[in-house]
Each structure stands twice: as structure tokens, then as C-alpha cells.
Amino acid sequence: MSMIQILANDGISKAGENLLIEKGFKVCTTPVKQEDLIDYINSENIAVLLVRSATTVRKNLIDSCPSLKIIGRGGVGMDNIDVEYAKEKGINVINTPASSTNSVAELVFAHLYGGARFLYDANRNMPLTGDSNFKGLKKNYSNGQELKGKTMGIIGFGRIGQQVARIALGIGMEIFIYDKFIHDITISISLFNGQSIDVDIKTQPFEKVLEKSDFITLHIPSQKGYVISENELNKMKKGAAIINTSRGGLIDEEALIKALDNNKISFAALDTFENEPTPDMKVLMHPKISLSPHIGASTNEAQENIGLELADKIINHFN
């Protein structure tokens, strides 16, 4: 086992790298261009390929690289990997579903608080006209809303959806949940002092979540076709808002812009986009959209956890 070679092509946390080195693995973290990847894996006899969202692992690479034993994704979604094909070829495919849960859930609320108080727009306009139009900007941004007492609709109730629910309940929001596979569930909210509170939750029909929620957040994997298109946006409460920190392509961006322009939706927050890494300029320039560049899992804590979780799974596999 002393010289099993690992290529962390999109990087790995120092903690994860150190743990692997300590256990006798050789870890390369210098990125290899996609077009050079097959040659590199074969020439260096790479047994483990670790990726995030930048590198793709398709059928041709899997077929061309017989040395691969593990393909690992630092994060949750694995749409950049031909997972089933790799498994058929006897390759162990791993990911880190637990590590970034809190980071993504907290980003939802960063966008939500910013949207409810127009911070995303105020931060654009204060540097431009804050000195000459302070009173005008104050007037523009003075009809914000509190989150306490509002309703949060959560589409998809896996780990991240459940963490969003914990935060929402903690700040006094009511929650409406939709999930294809979960019906009734109890979630535990842990407090700083070791106490915890159990909350029983019943899921609701999709239509009801759309109709009743003041804010809707998506926590589902990539789908064929849109989950939120013009039809779904029209069913939402007038003045509601929508957040997507999940996957690009879940929301029809053309329909979203139309709904924002006609004031059906008050604001949207997007961390993921239909066309990454070149989102539509109409989306980027829209005054009612709060934006971030797919950073849901990109906190120091999440990246450290992801590296350690990958390292543990690799060590266990070879032991």
C-alpha cells in the first residue's frame, strides 16, 4: 500500500492530504488539464482520482484508465461523473454528502437575509450614489421584511433541506416541506449547550408548498427538465422569493426573469446557473437577483471536512 497514487485534480484540503500521506499514500494536487488526464493517469499509474466540479470523468476516461480503483467527488452532486458505468467496471465511486451540509444551508440564509432587506442591491448602489442620493436609497430600501413568522418552503428534504429547516425553525419561521421519498420525519435541533429539541414534520404536496410559502429553497439533484418553470412560478404567492443553491437548470431562468419583471416574484437568489461557468448576462445584471458563484460548499470548514471524509473512505477501501 505504501505507494498507492492519488490525483486530487481539483484539490483537497490540507487536513485530508496530510492524513493520506500519513497512511502511506502518495498525493498529487497539481491540476492536470482535462485533455491530458488520461495520459497522466496511465503514465503515473493513478489508483484514485479525486475531483470536484471542474474535472469530468466520462466513459472514455474510465475505459482508458485501467489503473483506477476509486473515483471520488468532493461534494454531493456527481453529474460530472458517469457513476453507474464506473461501478459496472468495478470502480468504487465515493462522494461526501455530509461534509458541506451546514455551509450550503447557511448560504441559503445569507441570501435570504440579504434579499429580505435588499442588501444585494444596496451593496451595488451605495458605492455609486450613496454620497449623492443617501436619502433616496434609504427610501428605496426601507420596506424590507423580517423572516420571523414567515413561511419557508423546502423542496427536497435530504441532509441540506433538513439543516435549512433547523435554521428556519430556530429563527421562528413556519416550514412547508416537499420530498418525493420522505413523508413523515422527526428532526433534532441541537443547541450550543448540548440540549436538543425534536420536531415532527409532515411533508406536503408540491402544489401546496408553492402556494403557501413566502420563500422557497431548492435542495434536489439535477433533473431532466425544469422543476420550476413558468407554471410553477405562477402558482407561487405574489411577492414570494426563490433560492437555488442546489444545481443549475432546476429553474427556467427566462421564466424567472419574466416573473421578477412583472413583480410576481419579489427577488431570487442563485448560487447555481443554467450555463456554468458562463451564466446568462440577463441573469447577472438583473436588479432583483442576489448572486454568488457556486460557493455553497466553499467554506474553510466544509472543505476541511470534505478532505477528511474522502481520506477516510480511501483508507477504508484499501484496508
Full residue range of the structural domain in which residue 257 is found:
101-291
149 with 41, same domain: the answer is no
195 with 233, same domain: the answer is yes
Tell me phi and psi for residue 27, to 5 degrees. Answer: -120, 125
235 with 185, same domain: the answer is yes
245 with 144, same domain: the answer is yes
226 CB-side CA count, 13 A? 15
* Polymer length in residues for the chain: 319
Task: Note whether 28 and 6 are within 8 A (CB).
Answer: yes
- Helices of type H across the chain: 14-22, 37-44, 59-64, 83-88, 101-116, 119-129, 134-140, 159-170, 206-212, 230-235, 253-261, 281-284, 300-318
State the pairing for strand pair 92-95/289-291.
unpaired
pLDDT digits (tens, 9 = 90+) for 263-277: 999 999 999 999 998
d(CA 180, CA 205): 9
169 with 261, same domain: the answer is yes
Task: Note whether 8 and 28 are within 8 A (CB).
Answer: yes
148 with 78, same domain: the answer is no
Catalytic residues: 247, 276, 294
Q: Kindly give the confidence (pLDDT) of every residue in the chain, 319 residues in length, as a single tens digit, with 9 standing for 90 and above.
A: 458 999 999 999 999 999 999 999 999 999 999 999 999 999 999 999 999 988 999 999 999 999 999 999 998 888 899 999 999 999 999 999 889 999 999 999 999 999 999 999 999 999 999 999 999 999 999 999 999 999 999 999 999 999 999 999 999 999 999 999 999 999 999 999 999 999 999 999 999 999 999 999 999 988 889 999 999 999 999 999 999 999 999 999 999 999 999 999 999 999 999 999 899 999 999 999 999 999 999 999 999 999 999 999 999 999 8
d(CA 268, CA 259): 10
Q: Is 270 in a helix, a strand, or coil?
A: strand
pLDDT digits (tens, 9 = 90+) for 59-111: 999 999 999 999 999 988 888 999 999 999 999 999 998 899 999 999 999 99
CATH number at residue 22: 3.40.50.720
Task: Note whether 82 and 62 are within 8 A (CB).
Answer: yes
Q: Is 269 in a helix, a strand, or coil?
A: strand
Q: Which three cell numbers mark 206?
A: 408540491
47 with 153, same domain: the answer is no
244 with 130, same domain: the answer is yes
- Tally the domains of the chain: 2
37 with 134, same domain: the answer is no
